[in-house]
Amino acid sequence: MEKTGILLWEPDSTQLCQYLYMNEQNGSFAQNVWIADSKEFALSFEKNEVLQECNRTLAISDQGFGVLLKDLEKARIQNSTRFRRETGIVLSEQLAAQFTAFASNIKDLTVGIFKATLEYVCSGLDAVAQATLALAAAQPTLLSRKILNTSNIEARLVGADLLEIRPCEILNLTEIDFYHV
């Protein structure tokens, strides 16, 4: 910079905010708990902590995430009107219909959780398989000894997914002779 130069700096106002925008997700809200439709993210709001910053009012979840208070209140209102019931006599047909709906919701939720868990386990197994193949290519004997829990073997990778393993025999020093040729 020259001696007569001027440096003009304008701070970014969002950098002063404690909470920054992450993303927007759809989900369901009940009993002070919001669960994303993907079933991979959930927030609870038991503490009722509210924070005013950067011209917005945030409800702070028990996990430490900030949610716009107006959006949380909107979800609470939708939830309360959806689950409001008239008091009076419950007919067996009504009870049967409600149990059927409940069972269907539980089934869908269970299927979603099972699917997400299975995908997570499969991705983990895939990573282990890839690491095992990489080790088989780099150190086939070491891999074979660890998997088979024995040190008296030697291995080599014969094909892309074929490992040849041969047994080794321990020799005493008296069984070894050296001849000069």
Kindly state whether residue 164 falls inside one of the protein's structural domains: no
Position 166 confidence tier, pLDDT thresholds 50, 70, 90: very high
Kindly state whether residue 76 falls inside one of the protein's structural domains: yes
Domain region containing 48: 16-84
Cβ atoms of 168 and 141 within 8 Å: the answer is no
Kindly state whether residue 133 falls inside one of the protein's structural domains: no
Q: Rounded mean pLDDT of 42-54?
A: 86
| DSSP, residue by residue, 37-76 | TTSS-EEE-SS-EEEEETTEEEEEPTTS-EEEHHHHHHHH
Task: State residue 38's pLDDT score.
Answer: 79
**Number of structural domains, the chain?**
1
Q: Rounded mean pLDDT of 73-93?
A: 66
Provide the token pair at 149: 């829990």
Which one is predicted more confidently, 11 or 58? 58
For 42, residues 6+ apart whose C-beta sits below 8 A from its C-beta are: 33, 34, 35, 36
Kindly state whether residue 97 falls inside one of the protein's structural domains: no
Kindly state whether residue 7 falls inside one of the protein's structural domains: no
Task: State residue 87's pLDDT score.
Answer: 52
| DSSP, residue by residue, 94-121 | HHHHHHHHHHHHHHHHHHHHHHHHHHHH
Task: State residue 13's pLDDT score.
Answer: 61
Predicted confidence (pLDDT) at residue 79 exceeds the cutoff of 80:
no
Kindly state whether residue 113 falls inside one of the protein's structural domains: no
Kindly state whether residue 173 falls inside one of the protein's structural domains: no
